[in-house]
Structure 1
Amino acid sequence: MTAHRFTPRGPLTGRIRVPGDKSISHRSLMFGALAVGTTTIRGLLEGEDVLATGRALEQMGAKVRKADDGTYSVDGVGVGTLLQPEGALDMGNSGTSTRLLMGLVASHGITAAFTGDASLSKRPMGRVIDPLSDMGASFTPSPGGTLPLITEGMQPAVPMTYRLPVASAQVKSAVLLAGLNTPGTTTVIEPVPTRDHTERMLRAFGVEVTVEEIDGEKHISVTGPVDMSPCDIEVPGDPSSAAFFAVAASIVPGSDLLIENVGLNPTRDGIFRVLKQMGADIDYLDPREVGGEPVADLQVRHAPLTGIEVDPDIAPSMIDEFPVLFVAAAMAKGATITSGLEELRVKESDRLSAMAAALKISGAKVQEREDGLLITGSSGEPLPGGGTVTTHLDHRIAMSMAVAGLASETGVEIDSTEPIATSFPNFTALIDEASA
């Protein structure tokens, strides 16, 4: 592991463009593989997680190619005709790839073995195994319901109506993807809204997706088997990646940064709404729609932040952004209270305890609770900085504490920058560019 110290710089200025949205990148490859014909994708995130998805789809018959101009093309095999992979599907660190591809395989007559790195192999897969088993697929996981695991698909699978026990776009998507090749109507009932990239993109590929609101809950249905048509996709900038720079520009004095082409799907933009509640100076320039997704350029200027009590109902729209929000809270005036965040304990790491420990090492005042953190901010004063932060091989811990280092007195050292490559390969280069 390569330790790296992120030290204070000048203000963040100029224009940057963050990598393509990871959720949309995964789905564009998967749906391209299920369409008959050639799908073209511009702006695909070339992180390890997305490339793992591409490799797995090639093992099941799709052809994924990259042109000299960076555009990707996917020649699909069609719904119902995925091929039996010869070897195990190595998912690396990607929970999204694993859970969604388990859904795809579940309604095809093939068997696939899923493997992953040490971090992914600790993450629970029971939440997708349960509903997909009810549709007819069978699973042989490792003890504790983790990877490595074997999925045996059932063709034809059995349609079902499934109420999500926890707010999870991955579980919703896995069931809907299984429904694409299942005769009859498969419905997911969503008590709490989660990111809706799957529904939006399925429509772009010609699938009829019905969404009804019944007694305050969303009922999302697909009727299979479906035929999917190829399409051209422009992947917007990842709001999760933009969030690191929005927080950095907010807390580093003198900053005035334009972040271009950021996806602002209402199920994903919670971090920007919460930052604005704290007093952040964020303007949305040139709002537009690209491929069914709302997009804008974000102008972010340094501003004094004030601690707030974060509404737990907003958590699903920013669940991955809480680590960097905790950094903003550590620099705010007064206390920031978060709750309802039990989900953060089963991410790539236990992000509540990992961020509490990391911020304390850097000189912040943090109290860890069962379902959130209570952070008393520095009123804009730089954090002292200090000893080496343990990232637990979690890319969001690593990047969040890198941002903390930019607004510290002596810098923050993280124990490894390697996990950052999974989602944001040019993160450090963009920091250098914006603070040059």
Structure 2
Amino acid sequence: MQHHQVTFHVQPGGTLQGEARVPGDKSISHRSIMLGSLAEGVTRVSGFLQAEDCLSTMKAFQAMGVRIEGPADGCVTIHGVGLHGLQAPAQELYLGNSGTSMRLLSGLLAGQPFDSVLTGDPSLSKRPMKRVTDPLRQMGAHIDTTEKGTSPLRIHGGTPLKGIHYDMPVASAQVKSCLLLAGLYAEGRTSVREPAPTRDHTERMLRGFGYAVQREGEVVSLASGGRLTACDVDVPSDISSAAFFMVGAAIAPGADVTLQHVGINPTRTGVIDILRLMGADIEILNAREAGGEPVADIRIRASHLRGIEIPEALVPLAIDEFPVLFVAAACAEGETRLTGAEELRVKESDRIQVMADGLRVLGVDATPTPDGMLLRGGPMAGGEVESHGDHRIAMAFSIAGLRAQGPITIRDCANVNTSFPTFVEIARRLGLSIESDGRPSA
């Protein structure tokens, strides 16, 4: 996968108005392919996110003998092979930039009768994998990593797994999901305790495919020996993608934006709660359910934002939205303080440092701390910022243009395609003055 350099150029000012349906939720799109592949029967997915990360998951299952048609207009048809129907891949499974694919597949593949190797791009190859390989080894899995505990992951199949009870040291939906997927193949019961609530898309979708998952307080568990039955999945719009336009509408004078069919799973709505605490005008309309997941239309209008102390309980519920929430804080009156977010330092980039560096270029008073940031709102200048190949950083600084006093140039934006390929198009349609030069080549 060679990428040309992609640079975003944003002209200052303007506002956002209109309606948009942002692309499908990444977490749910990944899981629809995984569970659809392991189900019995044909699963039809609509609203699937046609982005590189989710396509990496799709290619991995195709390489293991699953027939998958699409994606065409967000529709994918998966001919499930059942829990024990995967075949040994002929070569390494390359997962690009997708941490979700690597961490979830490591659990699923630990229980297969065949060997497999998981690799990724240079960024993914730096991301910590011990958080999944350690508990998987406790279950009896045989997985080799580099000395640093990073990928390539070499998984030796044919080793019987035993269900364990695992107390997660750090709240992580990816670790929880990895262990539940391994638990489908482990003797007895597998249970995971979460120190704080994390995304529950895996549990919801397992139930949607007819597999029993128990939750008691902080512990989620399942037993092996069940089966998955094919079903239809209508993927909600990704609230993490919607968040860019939620913040944009909150900070741009005269803005009024409605985002349609957005997933409002309570484990993901921290961004709504935080923006409301800052004084944002957010209305939840037409709330309904789609495939076990709550969805709604979200209307956001321009408002006067105030700085806040972000409650630590909301941090895990908004972890992917902090790059753009930092932009909201930069446009708010007074001081915003984030603590308890050290996880941000091991994302696609060190999101605390990279956002602080970029905001300082734009003249914002931003002080990084080990587990968060201290921001003082004030005027924003233009300037040239580095996204360090991190899609969420690139999109956050694009939105900053709505309140900047000069043009913003954002370098290294090719990875926006990993999560939100239509970002520039939707942003322009709603009123952001943004140009992208350099075309990524897949």
Question: What CA deviation, in whole Å up to 9, does each residue of 1:245-266 have, x standing for no partner?
Answer: 0001111111101111110000
Quote the offset at 1:406 in angstroms: 2.5
Question: Residue 423 of structure 1 aligns with which residue?
Answer: 419
1:77-113: CA deviation from partner (whole Å, max 9, x where unpaired): 1112321111111110000000000010011112111
Instruction: Kindly report which structure 2 residues correspond to 1:188-227, keeping only aligned pairs within 5 A, or say none.
Output: 188-213=192-217, 218-227=218-227
- Match of 1:77, SS state, is coil
Alpha-carbon distance change, 303 to 46 in structure 1, aligned in 2, over 3 angstroms: same
Task: Give the conservation status (yes or no) of the 8 Å contact 1:136–1:154.
Answer: no
How far apart are 1:10 and its partner, in Å? Answer: 2.3
1:83 aligns with 2:94: no
Q: 2:206 is paired with a residue of what secondary structure?
A: helix
SS in 1 for 2:106: helix
- Three-state SS of the structure 1 residue aligned to 2:367 is strand
Matched, 1:160 2:164: yes
CA distance in 2: counterparts of 1:43 and 1:146, whole angstroms: 32
Q: Which sections of structure 2, spanning at least 5 residues, go unmatched?
A: 433-442
2:385 aligned partner: 389
CA shift, 1:181, in A, is 1.6
Aligned partner of 2:350 in structure 1 is: 350
The alpha-carbon distance between structure 1 residues 385 and 67, as it changes in their structure 2 partners (threshold 3 A), is closer
Per the alignment, residue 414 of structure 1 pairs with: 410
Identify which range, 168-177 or 66-75, moves more after superposition.
66-75
Kindly tell me: are residues 361 and 228 of structure 1, through their superposed partners in 2, closer, same or farther at Cα, counting changes over 3 Å? same
Is the contact between residue 390 and residue 414 of structure 1 (CA under 8 Å) also seen in structure 2?
A: yes
- CA offsets, 1:304-361, max 9 Å, x none? 1000000111111111111110000000000000000110111111111000001101
Deviations 1:32-63 (A, max 9, x none): 01101110000000010000000001111211
Moved more, 338-347 or 65-74: 65-74
Alignment of 1:306-345 (within 5 A): 306-345=306-345
Q: Which residue of 2 aligns with 1:399?
A: 395
Q: Deviations over 1:344-401 (max 9, x none)?
A: 11111111100000110111111111111000002xx4x1121x21111111111111
User: What's the CA shift for 1:31?
Assistant: 0.2
Give 3-state SS (helix, strand or coil) of 2:284's partner. strand
Whole-angstrom distance in 1 between the partners of 2:407 and 2:332: 18
- 1:107 aligns with one of 95, 108, 111: 111
Q: How does 1:14-413 map to 2 (within 5 A)?
A: 14-66=18-70, 70-213=74-217, 218-378=218-378, 381=379, 383-386=380-383, 388-413=384-409
Deviation at 1:140, TM superposition (A): 1.6
TM-score of the aligned structures, taking structure 1 as reference length: 0.96
- In the alignment, the residues of structure 1 paired with residue 50 and residue 307 of structure 2 have an alpha-carbon distance, to the nearest angstrom, of 36
Listed one character per residue, the Cα deviations across residues 381-430 of structure 1 (whole Å, up to 9, x for unaligned) are 4x1121x2111111111111111122211121111220100000000000
> Contact conserved, 2:15 with 2:402, CA < 8 A, in 1?
no
* Highest RCO, 1 vs 2 (Cα 8 Å, sep ≥ 6): 2
Is the counterpart of residue 433 in structure 1 residue 429 in structure 2?
yes
Residue identity matched to 1:31: L
Partners of 1:219 and 1:199 lie apart in 2 by: 12
Do the aligned residues in 2 keep the contact of 1:247 with 1:325 (CA within 8 Å)? yes
Return closer, same or farther for 1:278/1:28 CA change in 2, 3 Å cut-off. Answer: same
Provide the residue aligned with 2:440 in structure 1: none
Q: 1:337 to 1:8 in 2, by over 3 A?
A: same
Contact 2:26 2:419 in 1 (8 A): yes
Structure 1 residue ranges without an equivalent (≥5): none
Q: What is the letter of the counterpart of residue 225 of structure 2?
A: P
User: If the length of structure 2 is used for normalisation, what is the TM-score?
Assistant: 0.95
| Structure 1 residue ranges, 4+ long, deviating more than 2 angstroms after superposition | 67-70, 153-156
Seq. identity, %: 49
List per-residue Cα deviations over 1:193-245 (Å, max 9, x = no partner).
101001100000000001012xxxx1111110221100000000000000000
CA distance in 1, matches of 2:33, 2:194: 25
